[in-house]
Structure 1
Amino acid sequence: MFSCNNDDVEYEFVQVAVPELMSKSDFRKSVEITSPKNIEKAGKIYAYSNFIFVSDVNKGVHIIDNSNPRFPKAIKYLKIPGNEDISIKNNFLYADSATDLVVFDISDINAITQVERLEDVFDIYNTIRIPIEAQIADYANYDYEDDIIVGWTVKRERREKVDNSVLIDNAFDGIRAFANGAESNVGVGGSLARFQIVDNYLYTVGSHAMAIFNIQDLASPTLTNTQYAGWNIETMFQADDYLYLGSTNGMYIYSLNNPSSPEFVSEFVHWEGCDPVVVDGDYAYLTLRGGNLCGQQESVLEIIDISDKSNPVLAARHELENPYGLGIKDNLLFVCDGTAGLKLFNKTDPLKVKELKNIKNIQSKDVIPLQNSLLMIGDETLYQYEYLQNDVRLISSYSLN
């Protein structure tokens, strides 16, 4: 709908995202460690020791005691405004808080303490994602130097029709994390994450930049390097001294031969689509979710031959409905196919993956295949499954709100 005034200036009604602002000084004082509370919008999951950490998108992290997987219990809440991801090593928890990196000592889960905060190490524009329903963003009252964006309010407004409006990038921006738990003292994250701990380094990736932190002194990390990573990066996975970055347009491979400065090796290009990736041996498995803002093509599982890291090649493709995260346990590949449920594939022959089971009537977003059980999150519910022969069986489902 639009109308024209007498001067022939065109107007239209648009959905405008107006940032909710907080001063940086107040923002940095707002971290709290409190008793459990309901989750407003469940994000990613992370496992460490007998605990499961569930992010409350842009607000903080909920800690669940999973000593008894049949009866998980929420025990603590870390209020961390502007948070998207965490990663843990040796009882030190690293979390993004908008522009900052915050460190917590969780050695006593009942007496968690904040021990460090590195300020302005992340790009301000990689913090809180603009609501998907917004058409433009209004930054008129935003002061880059003094303000932090802690949320958005969407309003329908009549505005003059112009060509240079601020366009919205609704890719999965923000410093988000992934840790695959290669060491027993490092936690395990899901495939949608953006943090990754490898030895004495914490790697974080935003939409375009990678920030590398030296965490040899766990309580006092230092920013070692920030470098360009690629275009519209969404996820990070580590395997065999390589980083695999999933973007809306492809997969980037970086070598960790020089851990403080990852070296670009190659890029696999695909059509535009939301793209998490996991790796096992000579093959990378990635899902592409088409439709809406993720892309205009179909939704698929792609298997990439990465035996030659300098020349990744598409090896196979399997159609899906609306996939999100995925994970691997031995010869089983778990794919969260959104509203189509959780799908199990046999990947004994990666070129001919075979669907074994589709757990329907649930919404699935991401999985973490642990040694003895499978964690899955979807529709504000945490699911846990035990492994069977080419199958899984539900242990518990835990409502997060």
Structure 2
Amino acid sequence: MKRTTLLLLAFITIWTLSCDDDNQDDKYADYLVARPLTMTLEEFENSVDIIGPLPIDESGKIYAYKDYVFVNDKYKGVHVIDNSSPSSPQKISFIKIAGNVDISVKDDYLYADSLTDLMVFDISDIDNIQIVNRMRDVLRDNVVWPAADIFEYDGIDYQNEILVGWEVVSERRLIEEVQPGLFLDDLAVAESANDGTGQGGSLARFKIVDDYLYAVDSHNINVFEISDLENPKDLEDVFAGFDIETIFNRGQHLFIGSMQGMYIYDITTPATPTFVSEFRHGTACDPVVVDGDYAYVTLRGGSLCGAEESGLFIVDISEITAPTLKISYPMDEPYGLGIKDEKLFICDGSSGLKVYDKTDVEDLISLNHFKDIITFDVIPMEDHLLMVGDEVLYQYEYLQDEIRLISTLEL
């Protein structure tokens, strides 16, 4: 009898605890938590180096120059790839640059961000890349936020350490303990295809136009005069709004993509870009490319991007002072995009690479959909397409009404 009673009590206890666990489920949620990666100031100053090929940690943006492809390894540097044979690309070196996200190239000089510093490299001998200049604290608001829900940054010694990147992990948290103060709040960071240029993707924040380098940060267009390629002149920054993410050039205009909208600036006087107009779209992550009378904007909702829905927005810019929405198409989670003649390429994240005929922008025709890949950004070259995603470099050849894969390179 005593044994039966004890078993019954044990069963009731386990059942009660199980019920309590079930009742607790709705009090928790999964959050992406970002924690800072730091270096001492001395380590940061001495961290730049050119070394042999390394496996990539997290593929970022892509850039093409002559027979070479440069792929950013987020916050760590740039992988250099010999692409003289697109069917068989070869990794040849890695440029270590702490806090790097963007690059641009003109006449064998490579410009790269290193947090708030602008680095200049001579790449005329690709097997013997040289550091020729470091301009300190010229990219003063160069802060890149990862996709995360919570940012935790206690314990940083701001006198002796510098934030060079982020580690993002998924964690289950008690909802009531996730307060607004855990988010973006008082974070201290570091203190204050023509004319010989290469070609970047639509997610680029660096753009060279003639003798000027334009580098956007979260608020400004940073302007550098680079007629002396080794010694850029830091000119007056131009305030351009909030949550700026990308930059694209067409003729005498810069098209600035932000989480608030698309801003258009005139660079007839290149040292002082002047505001022309804007197209507002609410809150979403926003790269933009331009062809003819239309700007093609991909909007990605969710997480830091804010908006719930994602899509392709085609904006009529025939009247440059009054851009208007022509039409929009639903997408899943679009990132970069590119255009070659009448082909439109969209990196739709985990939904793959989508290729459209854009002859009639109000009736896009699907030509290809490569589904089983994760895509990030593209560069349409003259005779083939470059695409990067999920630590892989893909290359495709153009056919009349489609494209065909010619190589992949595990980065």
TM superposition score category, shorter chain reference:
0.7 to 0.9
The structural deviation recorded for 1:349 is 1.9
2:208 paired residue number: 197
What is the distance in 1 between the residues matched to 2:92 and 2:135?
A: 27
Counterpart selection for 1:255 from 266, 269, 275: 266
For residues 310 and 146 of structure 1, do their structure 2 counterparts lie closer, same or farther at Cα, with a shift above 3 Å needed? farther
Higher mean alpha-carbon deviation, 365-374 vs 337-346, is at 337-346
AA partner of residue 221 (structure 1): P
Contact 2:148 2:304 in 1 (8 A): no
The structural deviation recorded for 1:207 is 1.1
2:387 paired residue number: 376
Q: CA RMSD in A?
A: 2.5
Partner-residue secondary structure (3-state), 2:304: helix
For residues 15 and 276 of structure 1, do their structure 2 counterparts lie closer, same or farther at Cα, with a shift above 3 Å needed? closer
The structural deviation recorded for 1:357 is 2.0
Contact 1:13 1:159 in 2 (8 A): no
The structural deviation recorded for 1:160 is 10
AA partner of residue 49 (structure 1): K
What is the distance in 1 between the residues matched to 2:164 and 2:342?
A: 42
1:136 paired residue number: 151
For residues 252 and 357 of structure 1, do their structure 2 counterparts lie closer, same or farther at Cα, with a shift above 3 Å needed? same
Structure with max Cα Rg: 2
Contact 1:85 1:195 in 2 (8 A): yes
Higher helix share: 2
C-alpha offsets along residues 112-134 of structure 1, whole Å, 9 cap, x if unaligned? 1000000001125x34535x445
C-alpha offsets along residues 34-62 of structure 1, whole Å, 9 cap, x if unaligned? 11111011111100010000110000000
Gaps of 5+ in 1: 1-11, 175-180
1:394 pairs with 2:394: no
What is the distance in 2 between the residues matched to 1:154 and 1:352?
A: 40
1:21 pairs with 2:38: yes
1:359 pairs with 2:374: no
Partner-residue secondary structure (3-state), 1:26: helix
1:57 paired residue number: 74
**4+ runs of 1 displaced by more than 4 Å?**
12-18, 153-164
Contact 1:196 1:202 in 2 (8 A): yes
Counterpart selection for 2:350 from 336, 339, 342: 339
The structural deviation recorded for 1:238 is 0.3
1:227 paired residue number: 238
C-alpha offsets along residues 142-163 of structure 1, whole Å, 9 cap, x if unaligned? 42x6532023457979999696
2:86 paired residue number: 69
What is the distance in 1 between the residues matched to 2:40 and 2:307?
A: 39
1:151 paired residue number: 165
What is the distance in 1 between the residues matched to 2:154 and 2:236?
A: 29
1:213 paired residue number: 224
What is the distance in 2 between the residues matched to 1:37 and 1:246?
A: 32
C-alpha offsets along residues 137-180 of structure 1, whole Å, 9 cap, x if unaligned? 3355342x6532023457979999696615238xxx99xxxxxx
1:39 paired residue number: 56
AA partner of residue 210 (structure 2): D
Give the TM-score normalised by the residue count of structure 2.
0.86
Partner-residue secondary structure (3-state), 1:352: coil
What is the distance in 1 between the residues matched to 2:308 and 2:177?
A: 30
What is the distance in 2 between the residues matched to 1:211 and 1:28?
A: 22
What is the distance in 2 between the residues matched to 1:370 and 1:13?
A: 41
Gaps of 5+ in 2: 1-28
Partner-residue secondary structure (3-state), 1:165: helix
1:165 paired residue number: 181
Counterpart selection for 2:198 from 175, 178, 187: 187
Partner-residue secondary structure (3-state), 1:20: strand
What is the distance in 1 between the residues matched to 2:357 and 2:168?
A: 44
AA partner of residue 164 (structure 2): V
The structural deviation recorded for 1:346 is 1.0
Partner-residue secondary structure (3-state), 2:236: strand
Instruction: Give the aligned length.
Output: 376
Contact 2:149 2:304 in 1 (8 A): no
1:308 paired residue number: 319
AA partner of residue 131 (structure 2): Q
Q: How does 1:260-271 map to 2 (within 5 A)?
A: 260-271=271-282
Higher mean alpha-carbon deviation, 21-30 vs 295-304, is at 21-30
Contact 2:375 2:389 in 1 (8 A): yes
Counterpart selection for 2:251 from 240, 243, 254: 240
For residues 13 and 242 of structure 1, do their structure 2 counterparts lie closer, same or farther at Cα, with a shift above 3 Å needed? closer
What is the distance in 2 between the residues matched to 1:82 and 1:324?
A: 21
For residues 90 and 276 of structure 1, do their structure 2 counterparts lie closer, same or farther at Cα, with a shift above 3 Å needed? same
Contact 1:128 1:150 in 2 (8 A): no
For residues 398 and 18 of structure 1, do their structure 2 counterparts lie closer, same or farther at Cα, with a shift above 3 Å needed? closer
Higher mean alpha-carbon deviation, 115-124 vs 132-141, is at 132-141
The structural deviation recorded for 1:364 is 1.4
What is the distance in 1 between the residues matched to 2:382 and 2:331?
A: 27
